[in-house]
C-alpha cells in the first residue's frame, strides 16, 4: 500500500514538473514572438513612408547624359532673291555652324562601365558627356544603338564604377510601386514615384518592338534613358517616353522592361548592333468574314497585305492575299506572333511557311535576311 502511494506521488510530481517546464517554455516563446513582432512593427513604421533605401542604393548608377552634334545650316542672302539675280547672278550660299544638344539619362549596368540609355538621346552625336551622381564628368564612347527598341549602349572608363541591382520585369504586377530616376529638364538627378499602371503596352508608334511598362510616375524630357526601379532598389525598366499633349508629364509614362533591355544590351556589346531576322511582309489579322471561310484547327492564320520587293517573302513566292497558317510548323494567329518568330531567326536561315492561297494549301521555303532598322518619329 505504501509502495503504491509513493508511486502515485512520484507520478504526480513528475508530470507537474513537465507542466511547469511547458508553461515556462510557452512564456519564453510568447515574449520572444512579442519582441520580434515589435521589431518588425518598428521597422515597418520607420520605413513605410520612405523609399530612401531603394534610392540610395541605385542613385549612384544613374547618370546624366549630354550629347551634341555640330551641323551646317544653310543661311539666306539678300542677293539670293530673284530680283537681284538678274544684276548680280547667283551668289554663294551662306552657311552657319550650329550645335544641337540633347539631354537625357542613363544607367550604369556593370562594373565594366557599360551604360544603357535611349537611342534618341545619343543618335548621331559627335560628343557624349556623362555626369555622375557625384558630380564627376566623363566622356563616353558609343558601343551601338538599336532604333527598333530605342535603346543604346555607351561606355565609360571608370575605376570602381557603380552598378545597379537588376530585377525581373516579368514579375511586375499592376499596382506595384515604382520610382523613376533621371535628369528632367537638366534639373539634376530627380526621383518621382508612382505605380505600374499597365504592362505589355504595344504598338504605340514609339519603337517597332513595343512592350512597355506603363506608369504614372512622372517621366519628363530628360528622364529618357533613366532608371525605373521597384521599392527594393532593383532596376526593372529603362524610362523611354511620355504620352502627352502638352509636352509635360500627364501621368502616362512608358519604360522598356529590363528583361528586354538586357537582351538588346548583350547583343550590342557582342555585335555592335542587334541582328534580327526579316521576312519582308506586311500583314493583318483575318477579319470575321474570312475566318468563317476557314477551318484552321484553332488558328485563324494571318493575311498578307503586301510584300517588300526582292524581300525573302517575295523571293519565296508569297503574294498579297495569301494566308500564313504556320512558320516552321508552329501555328500563327497574329502579325505580332509572326514578327516575334521571324526576328529570333538568324540571317541565312531557311524557314518553311505554310500558306493558304484561295482553297489550296502550299508550303514554301524562304531564306531569312537581316531586318533593316526602321526609324520612328518621336
Is 331 contained in some domain?
yes
Residue in this structure with the C-alpha cell 497574329, named with its chain if needed: 334
Residue 149 located in a structural domain: yes
140/173 same-domain check? no
Structural domain includes residue 227? yes
DSSP character at residue 245: S
The reply to whether 250 and 297 lie within a common domain is no
151 and 173 in a common domain: no
Please say which residue of 112, 137, 155 terminates a domain: 155
- Report yes or no: 228 and 260 within 8 Å, Cβ to Cβ: no
Do 65 and 118 share a structural domain?
yes
Residue 18 neighbours by CB distance under 10 Å = 10
Residue at which a domain ends, from 271, 291, 315: 271
CATH number at residue 135: 2.40.10.10
Q: What is the pLDDT of residue 117?
A: 96
**Lookup result for grid cell 542672302:** 77
- Residues sharing a CB contact under 8 Å with residue 278, sequence separation 6 or more, in sequence order: 311, 312, 342, 343, 347, 368, 369, 370, 371, 372
Scanning the structure block, which residue is given the C-alpha cell 561606355?
155
Q: Residue 341: exposed, middle, or buried by beta-carbon count in 10 A (0-12, 13-18, 19+)?
A: middle
| Domain annotation covers residue 92 | no
Q: Answer yes or no: is 94 within a domain.
A: no
Nearest to 151 by CA among 117, 128, 121: 117
Same-domain check for residues 264 and 169: yes
Query: What average pLDDT values come out for the chain (378 residues) when binned by 10 residues?
Result: 55 59 57 47 53 92 89 57 54 60 91 94 91 93 92 93 92 94 87 90 57 87 91 94 66 90 94 89 74 50 90 92 90 84 90 91 92 59
pLDDT in the model for residue 18: 60
> 222 with 169, same domain?
yes
pLDDT of the residue at 242: 76
Query: Contact 255/238 with Cβ under 8 angstroms?
Result: yes
DSSP three-state, residue 15: helix
Distance separating alpha carbons of residues 347 and 147, to the nearest angstrom = 19
Q: Are residues 113 and 72 in the same domain?
A: yes
In a domain, 378, yes or no: no
Contacts of 367 (CB under 8 A, 6+ apart): 312, 315, 316, 348, 349, 350, 351
Instruction: Kindly state the helix (H) or strand (E) to which residue 343 belongs, with its residue range.
Output: helix 335-343
Which of 218, 236, 271 is the C-terminal boundary of a domain?
Answer: 271
The CATH number of the domain where 357 resides is what?
2.30.42.10
Catalytic residues: 120, 150, 224
Q: Is residue 82 part of a domain?
A: yes
Examine the domain organization and report whether 293 and 325 are in the same domain: yes
Range of the domain at 111: 58-86+99-155
Residue 272 to residue 365: CA distance in whole angstroms? 30
Whether residue 213 contacts residue 257, with contact meaning beta carbons closer than 8 Å, is answered with: yes
| Pair 331, 325: CB distance under 8 Å | yes
Identify the three-state secondary structure at position 188. coil
How many domains is the chain partitioned into structurally? Answer: 3
Together in a domain, 181 and 259:
yes
In this structure, is residue 210 part of a structural domain?
yes
Amino acid at each position: 500500500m505504501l509502495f503504491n502511494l509513493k508511486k502515485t506521488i512520484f507520478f504526480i510530481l513528475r508530470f507537474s514538473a513537465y507542466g511547469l517546464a511547458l508553461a515556462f517554455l510557452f512564456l519564453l516563446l510568447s515574449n520572444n514572438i512579442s519582441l520580434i513582432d515589435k521589431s518588425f512593427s518598428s521597422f515597418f513604421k520607420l520605413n513605410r513612408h520612405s523609399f530612401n533605401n531603394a534610392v540610395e542604393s541605385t542613385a549612384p548608377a544613374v547618370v546624366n547624359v549630354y550629347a551634341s552634334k555640330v551641323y551646317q545650316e544653310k543661311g539666306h542672302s539678300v542677293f539670293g532673291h530673284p530680283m537681284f539675280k538678274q544684276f548680280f547672278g547667283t551668289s554663294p550660299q551662306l552657311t552657319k555652324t550650329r550645335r544641337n544638344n540633347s539631354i537625357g539619362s542613363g544607367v550604369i549596368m556593370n562594373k565594366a562601365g557599360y551604360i544603357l540609355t535611349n537611342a534618341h538621346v545619343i543618335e548621331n552625336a559627335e560628343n557624349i558627356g556623362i555626369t555622375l551622381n557625384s558630380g564627376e564628368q566623363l566622356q563616353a564612347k558609343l558601343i551601338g544603338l538599336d532604333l527598333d527598341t530605342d535603346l543604346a549602349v555607351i561606355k565609360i572608363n571608370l575605376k570602381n564604377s557603380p552598378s545597379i541591382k537588376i530585377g525581373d520585369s516579368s514579375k511586375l504586377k499592376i499596382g506595384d510601386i515604382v520610382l523613376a530616376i533621371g535628369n528632367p529638364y537638366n534639373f539634376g538627378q530627380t526621383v518621382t514615384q508612382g505605380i505600374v499602371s499597365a504592362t505589355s503596352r504595344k504598338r504605340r508608334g514609339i519603337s517597332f518592338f513595343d512592350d512597355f511598362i506603363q506608369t504614372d510616375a512622372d517621366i519628363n524630357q530628360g528622364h529618357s534613358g533613366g532608371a525605373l526601379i521597384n521599392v527594393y532598389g532593383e532596376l526593372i525598366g529603362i524610362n523611354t517616353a511620355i504620352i502627352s499633349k502638352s509636352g509635360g508629364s500627364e501621368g502616362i509614362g512608358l519604360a522598356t522592361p529590363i528583361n528586354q533591355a538586357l537582351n538588346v544590351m548583350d547583343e550590342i556589346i557582342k555585335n555592335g548592333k542587334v541582328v534580327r531576322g526579316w521576312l519582308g511582309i506586311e500583314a493583318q489579322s483575318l477579319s470575321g468574314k474570312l475566318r468563317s471561310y476557314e477551318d484552321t484547327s484553332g488558328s485563324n492564320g494571318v493575311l498578307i497585305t503586301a510584300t517588300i520587293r526582292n524581300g525573302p517573302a517575295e523571293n519565296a513566292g508569297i503574294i498579297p492575299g495569301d494566308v500564313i497558317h504556320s512558320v516552321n510548323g508552329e501555328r500563327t494567329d497574329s502579325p505580332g506572333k509572326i514578327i516575334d518568330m521571324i526576328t529570333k531567326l538568324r540571317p541565312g536561315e531557311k524557314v518553311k511557311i505554310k500558306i493558304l492561297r484561295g482553297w489550296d494549301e502550299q508550303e514554301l521555303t524562304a531564306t531569312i535576311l537581316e531586318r533593316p532598322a526602321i526609324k520612328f518619329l518621336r
